[in-house]
């Protein structure tokens, strides 16, 4: 059995969709049953409970051979990741796949990446067989901004002249799915750094928006104080706000990645725009890619439609500890 966490989020949700597309049975540990309804509809067996509940983790991990650990970037993240790792060891899990990030290096000053470094080390020392997946700057960030970009003609972010090599969640999801469903010995105790094929400034990304939308799109370097206030205005915690600010400061000061390590299908900005953002609505449609540029080789483009399934598994709630 495969267990995934984070299935109601972006990365875990993409893995869930790809497992369902491959008709692979899987279990998902979720906190909110209502929010997880799309995951249940994919055919997942849901375990409803809290990552902080040790008894819940034991129940979720019962009979699990491979597990995917994906948690939101919160202040308690490392505590929960260590607890999950311990539970995986005691439950006899054979292989743990962990979502980290390319920026997670020992010298990092960002609390998010510091947590990732500590979690990677803890997993490596646990005795589990492991695989680290380390993507960078997700393209889906632009998807969330698509309607506003089209309306205003501006990409507004505090990144200066820094460069990013953006990664598409669909590439990351495909790689994780392959590890969870294939011969995992090919991936035993390996770390994979994932990026798109190009290092681009945000002005260069704006140029690609301009070509796809057929109208001028300008990059505006937002003052960091203004960006910080915007984050706090949507009730982001001070810890998370400080971490995101440090991440953008690192990009602007060119302390992020220095070379692209490309993944294969989606992680080119122009292809992402053509396949992920409707030029008529400005909305994202990542799981129904209908706007492929005819200049691209469609044979190399992985199409991920919705995959309804007849499998329906029971939804269980964890025992109270």
Q: Are 43 and 312 in contact (CB under 8 A)?
A: yes
Say yes or no: 40 and 82 in one domain: yes
Q: Using CA atoms, how far apart are residues 200 and 163, in angstroms rounded to an integer?
A: 5
Q: What is the pLDDT of residues 81-140, one digit of tens each?
A: 999 999 999 999 999 999 999 888 888 888 999 999 999 999 999 999 999 999 988 888
Say yes or no: 176 and 238 in one domain: no
CA angle 318, 319, 321 (to 5 degrees): 115
Q: Is residue 148 part of a domain?
A: no
Q: Pinpoint the alpha helices (H) of the chain.
A: 10-21, 37-41, 54-61, 77-91, 111-124, 140-144, 146-152, 169-181, 202-213, 224-233, 238-252, 269-276
Residue 189 clears pLDDT 80, i.e. is over it:
yes
Q: How many other CB atoms sit within 10 Å of the CB of residue 83? A: 16
Which residues does 181 contact at the CB level (< 8 Å), separation at least 6? 2, 19, 22, 24
Say yes or no: 214 and 187 in one domain: no
Instruction: Name the token pair of 134.
Output: 């380390």
Which residues does 206 contact at the CB level (< 8 Å), separation at least 6? 155, 217, 218, 219
- What's the start-to-end Cα distance of the chain, in Å? 24
Q: Using CA atoms, how far apart are residues 119 and 100, in angstroms rounded to an integer?
A: 9
Say yes or no: 267 and 213 in one domain: yes
Say yes or no: 88 and 187 in one domain: yes
Say yes or no: 73 and 188 in one domain: yes
Say yes or no: 241 and 114 in one domain: no
Q: What is the pTM of this model?
A: 0.80
Q: Is residue 66 part of a domain?
A: yes
Q: Is residue 153 part of a domain?
A: no
Residue 235, pLDDT score: 87
Say yes or no: 71 and 178 in one domain: yes
Say yes or no: 25 and 91 in one domain: yes
Question: According to the per-residue pLDDT averaged within each range, which of 38-52, 136-150, 273-287 is highest?
Answer: 38-52
Q: Using CA atoms, how far apart are residues 71 and 204, in angstroms rounded to an integer?
A: 31
Say yes or no: 267 and 174 in one domain: no
Say yes or no: 238 and 309 in one domain: no
From 269, 256, 281, 27, select the one nearest 162 (Cα to Cα): 256
pLDDT (average), residues 155-174: 90
Q: What is the pLDDT of residues 134-154, one digit of tens each?
A: 998 888 888 888 888 988 999
Q: Using CA atoms, how far apart are residues 154 and 222, in angstroms rounded to an integer?
A: 11
105: three-class secondary structure by DSSP: coil
Say yes or no: 312 and 284 in one domain: no
Domain extent, residue 287, equals 200-300
């Amino acid at each position: 059995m495969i267990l995934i966490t984070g299935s109601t989020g972006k990365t875990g949700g993409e893995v869930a969709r790809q497992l369902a597309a491959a008709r692979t049975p899987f279990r998902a540990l979720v906190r909110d049953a209502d929010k997880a309804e799309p995951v249940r509809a994919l055919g997942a067996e849901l375990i409803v409970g809290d990552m902080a509940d040790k008894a819940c983790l034991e129940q979720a991990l019962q009979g699990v051979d491979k597990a995917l650990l994906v948690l939101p970037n919160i202040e308690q993240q490392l505590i929960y990741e260590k607890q999950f790792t311990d539970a995986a060891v005691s439950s006899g899990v054979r292989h743990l796949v962990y979502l980290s990030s390319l920026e997670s290096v020992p010298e990092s000053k960002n609390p998010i990446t510091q947590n990732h470094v500590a979690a990677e080390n803890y997993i490596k020392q646990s005795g589990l067989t492991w695989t680290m997946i380390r993507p960078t700057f997700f393209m889906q960030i632009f998807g969330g901004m698509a309607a506003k970009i089209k309306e205003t003609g501006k990409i507004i972010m505090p990144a200066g002249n820094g460069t990013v090599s953006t990664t598409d969640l669909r590439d990351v999801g495909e790689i994780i799915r392959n590890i969870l469903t294939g011969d995992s010995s090919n991936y035993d105790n390996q770390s994979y750094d994932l990026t798109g094929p190009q290092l681009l400034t945000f002005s260069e990304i704006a140029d690609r928006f301009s070509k796809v939308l057929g109208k001028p799109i300008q990059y505006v370097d937002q003052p960091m104080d203004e960006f910080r206030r915007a984050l706090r205005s949507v009730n982001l915690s001070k810890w998370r706000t400080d971490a995101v600010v440090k991440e953008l400061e690192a990009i602007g000061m060119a302390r992020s990645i220095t070379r692209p390590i490309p993944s294969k299908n989606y992680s080119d900005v122009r292809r992402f725009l053509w396949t992920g953002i409707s030029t008529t609505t400005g909305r994202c449609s990542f799981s129904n890619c209908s706007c492929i540029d005819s200049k691209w080789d469609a044979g190399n483009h992985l199409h991920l439609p919705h995959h309804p399934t007849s499998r329906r598994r029971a939804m269980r709630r964890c025992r109270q500890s």
